[in-house]
Structure 1
């Protein structure tokens, strides 16, 4: 377990923007709450949720998440 996948909401991580697109996704975090059917990465655009996708494993430490 790592700081990015521990608890219901892991530590927010920064996503680097490309130099030609300043309106892209800026941050993300792993959501693994009891209400989630599957764990997922929530993508943030300047602090607002912009998208989410399911993940079976933590991309940082490899731990299996709820599926």
Structure 2
């Protein structure tokens, strides 16, 4: 989460969102745009984590259904 706040574009690129990372970098270049870029990166990271939890839950439920 700290990386998403300090270096939003790098955080997005590491999470596999290359185009979002480039757009975030362009936004961050302006001083005013750094705060929205950091917020965008944190929200994007949170959504990625929620999606992973959702996929894991579906996998566990599917395994229980087979048993």
Q: Could you tell me the TM-score, scaled by structure 2's length?
A: 0.26
Larger radius of gyration: 2
Quick check: which one's strand share is greater?
A: 1
Higher relative contact order (CA 8 A, sep 6+): 2
Quick check: which one's helix share is greater?
A: 2
